[in-house]
Structures are given as C-alpha cells and as structure tokens.
Amino acid sequence: MIRQPTFTLATLSERFGLTLSGDGKLAIRGVATLAGAAHGQISFLANPRYRKDLLSTQASAVVLPAADAAAAPCAVLISSNAYASFARIAALFDHDSGVVAGIHPTAVIDSSAQVDASASIGPGVCIGARSQVGAGAVVGAGCVIGEDCAIGNDSHLVARVTLVKRVRVGTHCLIHPGAVLGADGFGLAMDQGRWLKVPQLGGVVLGDDCEIGANTTIDRGALDDTVLEDDVRIDNQVQIGHNVRIGAHTAIAGCAAVAGSAKIGRFCLIAGGAGIVGHIEICDRVTVTAMSLVTHSITQAGSYSSGVPLQETRDWRRNAARFRHLDELARRVKTIHNNENTE
C-alpha cells in the first residue's frame, strides 16, 4: 500500500497562487475527473466539452477559470490556466517509483563508460563504449545504450529504451519504453539494380526537457545530426527521419511521421497521424491537423489541413468516384460559365 498525502485547500491556493472560494480547511486527498470525483478529491474544468459535468460533480473542489466559478456546486480554486494549475496539484499525488542509485548487478557496463554514482542503472541494462550517464539519471530495466552516447543529468529512460549510437540526451528528459533513438537513417542509393547502403555517420541530439513516447523512433543523421531542441514533446509511435530538425517547444502527437531532412519550427503542433515529407521547412507556430500530409514548405504561422470528411461508406463511395474526374468537371463548368458570359 502507498500512503496518499493530504493537503488543505488553503495550502493549495497559497502554494499555486490560486484564488480560493470556499472552505480553506477542506482536506484534499486526491485528484479525479469531474464525473469520477468523490468527496475529498479535487477536479478541474479546462475543456468546455465537460462543462455539463461540473454541475453534478461530487468533487470537494474544482480548479477552473473565473467565468465558470459561479456554476460550481463546491469550493473552487480560480486559475487563468486551469489545466496547468491542476497539473501542478496532481503532481503532488504522483508518487515516485522506488528508484535507488547504483548499478544493478545484472547490468553490463563497458569499462570505458562513465556512470555517475547518483545515477540508477536497472536490471539487464547494457551500456556501450565511451557512453556517459549523468547525475540523478535513471536508466530503467532492459535499456540498451550503444557506443558514444550521453544521458544528461536527471533524465529518465523508463525501460527497454535503445540508444543505438552517438545519441546525446539533454537534462530532465523522459523517454518511454520501446523508443529507439539513433538507428540508421533510411539512406539508400540505387546502384546497378541493387540498393547500396549509405553510411549514417551522424548522431541524434536531444535538448533539455524533451519527452519521447513509447515505441517512437528517431534516426541518427547521415552526416550532420538529427536535432530536437529543448522542450520538444513527442508522443508514441512517431517516426523522425535522419537529419530532421525540430524547434523548441514543438509537440508531435502519436503516429505522426517526419521524413528525412525536414525542418520544423518552434511552438508547432503536429497532430496525430500527420505526415511531413522530407527536405521541407515549416516555420514557427504552425499547427497541422490530424492525418494531414505536408508536401511543401510552410512559411506562415497558422493551421493547415488535408483529407476529406468521413461519411457513410455508400455516400462516400459516390463522392470519391467523382473525385477521379474532378478536373474534367471543373473544365466543363468553366466552359458552361464562358458560354453563358459570351451568350
């Protein structure tokens, strides 16, 4: 059993600078959704989609924007950024796993590798030649760290992460299980009817505070490095090709793919399943919506989309069939229009 901590509402209000309306002595023992909360728990309202759940919540308190405060049936903590404030409160209830410093006896560490004494190296971990693990870093069970890698202070590889070769991870990064960083980029030259492998001599560089999702892959560069700047957040099953460069604070959702040598700016939001072809450039503050394909450089901030809307298959089929002749249709309309205007 794990003991849950308790905080009064007054403590939370003070610690996070939130305006309290209600009984400050209320004891908060946990966090929950509006719909799932019980007495003693605190919830939040950030997405208007869940406003209806506020009215019936059993939570003892809710973190919300000022405009929604009056509708709450309980105590409130008012925040101009309710989601962020709630995240800070929730962190109080997120107990750390029992990580202990030191190298597990089953780990296999090359004699030329350097592991800080305060780092934690889990069972079955392998660390290759000339690699380094910084102070407070955690390398979880089953991770394989190849040659010439570096893991910055306080970074955390959860479990079964692979850093293949020449991967430098900044400080305070979090890498989830199954992620593979530094595998060969997909470099091939066709040569007399056979593929010739192009050596991948670069590495991968991650800035500080990056997060890399489960089973995500980030290839190392062919000549230069593949680079993710600080605070880049990548979800699960994302593919980042060789020599890609991603600007600070950009977030990429699950199953997106970025092809080789693409450059993505800062503060971009790439939604799930989106694709970005190689050798193009996307400027800062661009949003790409789910499953859209970016085939050209984008030079202006804003939101971009492709695809067609979902329909019942029988309706869709009729429309899709017409797409095959859309150019013809447009030409016919132009002809009709011209005829009309010359009549």
| Residue ranges in 62-81 that form contacts with a second copy under rule CB under 8 A | 81
8 forms part of the interface with a second copy (CB under 8 A): no
CB of 76 to a second copy, least distance (A): 18
Residues from 117 through 176 that contact a second copy (CB under 8 A): 122-124, 126, 128-129, 140-142, 144, 146-147, 158-160, 162, 164-165, 174, 176
The answer to whether residue 272 forms part of the interface with a second copy (CB under 8 A) is: yes
Cα separation, 173 vs 102, whole angstroms:
19
Minimum gap (Å) between residue 200 Cβ and a second copy: 8
Q: Which two tokens stand for residue 127?
A: 């660390």
> Rounded to 5 degrees, what are φ and ψ at 15?
-65, -35
The upper half-sphere exposure of residue 206, i.e. CA atoms within 13 Å in the direction of its Cβ, equals 33
Q: What three-state secondary structure class fits 100? A: coil
Which one of 6, 19, 33, 299 is in contact with a second copy (CB under 8 A)? 33
Active site residue 242: yes
Best CA proximity match to 17, nearest among 74, 79, 91, 98: 79
Looking only at residues 78 through 97 of this chain, which bind a second copy when binding is defined by CB under 8 A? 81, 83-84, 86-88, 90-91, 93-94, 97
Best CA proximity match to 280, nearest among 298, 301, 267, 253: 298
Fill in the amino acid letter for 52: K
Using the rule CB under 8 A, which residue among 67, 111, 191, 342 binds a second copy? 191
Binding flags for a second copy, 211-230, as an x/- string (CB under 8 A):
x-xxx-x-x---xx------
- Across 192-291, where does the E strand assignment appear? 194-197, 204-206, 211-212, 217-219, 226-228, 233-234, 239-240, 245-246, 251-252, 257-258, 263-264, 269-270, 275-276, 281-282, 286-288
By CB under 8 A, which span of 12-20, 56-64, 67-75, 300-308 interacts with a second copy? Answer: 300-308
Question: Cα dihedral angle (264, 267, 272, 275), rounded to 10 degrees?
Answer: -20
Interface with a second copy, residue 100, by CB under 8 A: no
- Candidate residues 40, 114, 177, 284; the one interacting with a second copy per rule CB under 8 A: 177
Q: Pick the catalytic residue from 242, 296, 325, 337.
A: 242
Which residue carries 């800070």 as its tokens?
Answer: 88
Q: Does 38 bind a second copy (CB under 8 A)?
A: no
208 binds a second copy (CB under 8 A): no
> Active-site residue numbers?
242
